[in-house]
């Protein structure tokens, strides 16, 4: 199949980020939410530079993968275009709308005289204790510019005309980034770096300030871990984390206007020769806009209180309810309390003897982990499969793993080259010698913090055949240090598990729709994913489209499939959703001649999910729950999806 039938992975990632940026341009979105979308865009772009740019730079240097040749230049061009769009949204839309509310954001302009007294007081009373300066001369300096930290380059001339460069840190990690100041009832918002810039003459009283420019350096974030490592994995990872922010620079972000001689001098002194030099605006690290100092309900989305989805009488338990019927929680629309209660009951139920769970991204103050430690202290056998390689969550997961181990929880780590990304938990009860399982399977992390703004589905079930398969999977994970061999194979009839049967089963499900289309039997495929990249599965969807199967895709982020191409994908549509919540659930619906099969789970269709992770997708059997998921997915294919879903679930009777 020709390579042109697959859209570029990195440009698709950047395309999703542009969708985030477009939300900031919508007049229908409240002003504070628009500013937060700008923050999300900036944060996403930082991650792209930390994670993907090192790869593209390496490919550009060595050209080992012909599919990626030139992607570095294409990505840079797209980023530059989006950055111009970012600045235009602030200048032409955000600032005027704030001004109408008598809120004056001092952006790319001098501090007005009305508030200079307050700015000086702030500098001396709050800021001065946290800043330092470093002289950059023509020789190498020992100073190391930290990852994603803000600095000001100050160009000075002394009394005899000699020029020198000074770097000043912008202590945004210690102080707030934006300050709200009031004068005669008018509100002003000022950047920390502008407060420092206004007071520079105090720091350099005997010099002439020739120029002041904001800069930032982004460094490679990938951990260099291989199968040859020696020692305990937590110790190795902790050493790696200590050096993560000291990787090579991938981006040197500068405010325009730095004289070339000074720029080259800075690049040489800070060892930034490999970095991509990017001219941005005056302000960097605009992910800090997520704490923009603007109060008032009229500036934000109307509140959607979490809905109760499961009603339990005071004399009953959640476990008893699960034993009677499957339950489904749709977060963040519905309360996460029942998920916390699942672990709390498992920790204290007199019949529960064993608990198994996977942990990929754990909340900073995880009540789930606290329940697991309580269970171990209560004498239950608790096994937690902790993924230490969850990017940017490694340190938090290590912290919790140590605490759980100290409490008596058996900790199992995945192998270096095989992540455990599945979101599952299992409680094993023994009543009069009879084993009984109660399980939890989800599309998202077991994390009560992200459950407030990630849309996910969580199934609570006592389907014994399916949960016995889950027990078998935990048995494999508990003892294995690598991908399954032939002797490790498990006969999964209900679950779809990456490394075992997931890709093969999905191909078979698509093929059945192809066969039904050829026979004139009802057919169709609807799939919701975060990312779609893996070429074998994309090729199978193309084959289904060519056979006449109608395919509806909801893809939040990366999408390498090209829809609507005559003779290839004219029967495929792709919907993208960017709204107040982050779409995160994975749902797979196959028409199956009118007898729909519905699966949900942790697996995107990316190379990493299919080939180097343990993922679990699970069937949805309960007719009532199937109707709810079908309604949600149908709403997601329409405009104003999240508001409509909230209203639908609010009107749906609780269990």
Query: Under a CB-based contact definition with an 8 Å cutoff, are residues 369 and 400 in contact?
Result: yes
Q: What does residue 250 show for φ and ψ, rounded to 5 degrees?
A: -100, -25
Strands (E), 220-326: 249-254, 276-279
322 Cβ contact partners less than 8 Å away, ≥ 6 residues apart: 438, 460, 461, 462
Using DSSP bridges, classify how beta strands 249-254 and 434-442 pair: parallel, antiparallel or unpaired: unpaired
What is the DSSP code (8-state) at residue 223?
-
**Angle between the 394-406 and 233-244 helix axes, to the nearest 10 degrees?**
150
Distance CA 151, CA 170 (A): 5
Is residue 529 left, alpha or beta, with left meaning phi > 0 and alpha meaning psi from -120 to 50?
Answer: beta
Measure the CA–CA gap between 181 and 272, rounded to whole angstroms: 37
Q: How far apart are CA 116 and CA 236, in angstroms?
A: 50
Tokens of residue 330, six digits: 């749709």
Q: What's the CA gap between 234 and 86, in Å, rounded?
A: 40
- Identify any residues that bridge with 583 across adjacent strands, giving them in sequence order: 455
Taken in order 485, 491, 497, 501, is the CA torsion positive or negative? positive
Burial class (CB in 10 A: 0-12, 13-18, 19+), 73: exposed
Residue 104 a catalytic site member:
no
CB 385 within 8 Å of CB 420:
yes
Of the listed 421, 463, 494, 504, which one is catalytic? 421
Residue whose entry in the numeric block shows the structure tokens 């609807």: 526
For the record, the structure tokens of 93 come out as 């839309």
Q: In what order do the strands lie in the sheet with 586-590?
A: 496-497, 616-619, 597-601, 586-590, 525-529, 551-555, 572-575
Report the 10 Å Cβ neighbour count for 550.
Answer: 16
Angle (CA) 140 144 145, round 5°: 120
The residues annotated as belonging to the active site are: 421
């Amino acid at each position: 199949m020709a390579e042109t039938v697959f859209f570029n992975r990195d440009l698709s990632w950047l395309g999703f980020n542009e969708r985030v940026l477009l939300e900031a341009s919508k007049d229908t979105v409240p002003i504070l939410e628009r500013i937060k979308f700008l923050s999300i865009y900036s944060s996403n772009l930082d991650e792209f530079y930390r994670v993907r740019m090192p790869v593209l730079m390496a490919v550009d240097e060595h050209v080992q993968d012909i599919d990626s040749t030139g992607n570095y230049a294409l990505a840079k061009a797209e980023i530059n275009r989006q950055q111009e769009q970012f600045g235009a949204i602030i200048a032409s839309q955000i600032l005027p709308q704030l001004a109408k509310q008598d809120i004056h954001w001092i952006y790319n302009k001098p501090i007005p005289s009305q508030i200079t007294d307050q700015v000086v007081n702030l500098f001396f009373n709050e800021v001065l204790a946290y800043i330092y300066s470093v002289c950059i001369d023509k020789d190498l300096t020992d100073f190391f510019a930290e990852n994603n930290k803000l600095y000001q380059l100050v160009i000075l001339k002394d009394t005899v005309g000699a020029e020198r460069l000074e770097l000043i840190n912008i202590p945004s990690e210690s102080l707030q980034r934006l300050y709200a100041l009031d004068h005669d009832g008018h509100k002003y918002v000022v950047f920390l770096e502008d407060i420092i810039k206004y007071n520079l003459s105090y720091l350099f009283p005997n010099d002439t300030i020739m120029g002041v420019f904001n800069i930032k350096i982004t460094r490679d974030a990938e951990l260099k871990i291989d199968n040859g490592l020696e020692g305990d994995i937590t110790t190795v990872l902790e050493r790696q984390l200590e050096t993560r922010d000291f990787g090579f620079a991938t981006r040197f972000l500068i405010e325009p206007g730095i004289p070339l001689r000074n720029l080259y001098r800075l690049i040489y002194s800070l060892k930034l020769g490999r970095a991509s030099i990017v001219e941005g605006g005056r302000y960097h690290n605009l992910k800090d806009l997520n704490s923009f100092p603007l109060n008032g309900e009229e500036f934000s989305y109307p509140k959607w209180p979490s809905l109760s989805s499961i009603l339990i009488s005071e004399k009953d338990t959640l476990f008893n309810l699960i034993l009677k019927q499957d339950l489904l929680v749709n977060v963040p629309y519905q309360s996460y309390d029942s998920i916390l209660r699942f672990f709390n009951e498992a920790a204290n139920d007199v019949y529960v003897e064993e608990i198994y769970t996977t942990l990929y991204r754990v909340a900073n103050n995880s009540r789930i982990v606290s329940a697991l430690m309580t269970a171990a202290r209560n004498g239950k056998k608790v096994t937690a499969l902790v993924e230490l390689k969850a990017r940017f969550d490694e340190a938090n997961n290590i912290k919790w793993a140590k605490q759980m181990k100290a409490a008596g929880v058996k900790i199992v780590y995945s192998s270096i080259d095989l992540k455990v990304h599945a979101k599952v938990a299992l409680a094993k009860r023994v009543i009069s010698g009879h084993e009984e399982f109660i399980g939890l399977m989800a599309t998202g992390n077991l994390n009560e913090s992200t459950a407030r703004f990630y849309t996910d589905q969580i199934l609570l079930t006592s389907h014994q055949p399916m949960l016995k398969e889950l027990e078998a999977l935990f048995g494999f994970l508990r003892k294995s240090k690598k991908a399954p061999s032939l002797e490790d194979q498990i006969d999964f009839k209900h679950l779809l598990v990456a490394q075992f049967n997931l890709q093969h089963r999905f191909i078979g499900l698509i093929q059945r729709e192809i066969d039904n289309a050829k026979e004139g039997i009802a057919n169709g495929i609807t799939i919701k994913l975060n990312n779609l990249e893996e070429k074998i599965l994309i090729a199978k969807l193309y084959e289904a489209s060519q056979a006449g199967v109608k395919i509806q895709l909801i893809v939040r982020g990366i999408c390498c499939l090209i829809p609507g191409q005559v003779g290839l994908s004219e029967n495929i549509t792709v919907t993208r959703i960017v709204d107040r919540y982050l779409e995160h659930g994975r749902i797979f619906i196959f028409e199956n001649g009118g007898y729909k099969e519905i699966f949900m789970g942790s697996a995107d269709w990316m190379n990493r999910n299919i080939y180097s992770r343990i993922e679990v997708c699970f069937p949805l059997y309960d007719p009532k729950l199937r109707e709810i998921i079908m309604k949600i997915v149908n709403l997601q294919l329409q405009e104003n999806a999240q508001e409509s879903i909230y209203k639908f679930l609010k009107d749906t009777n609780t269990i």
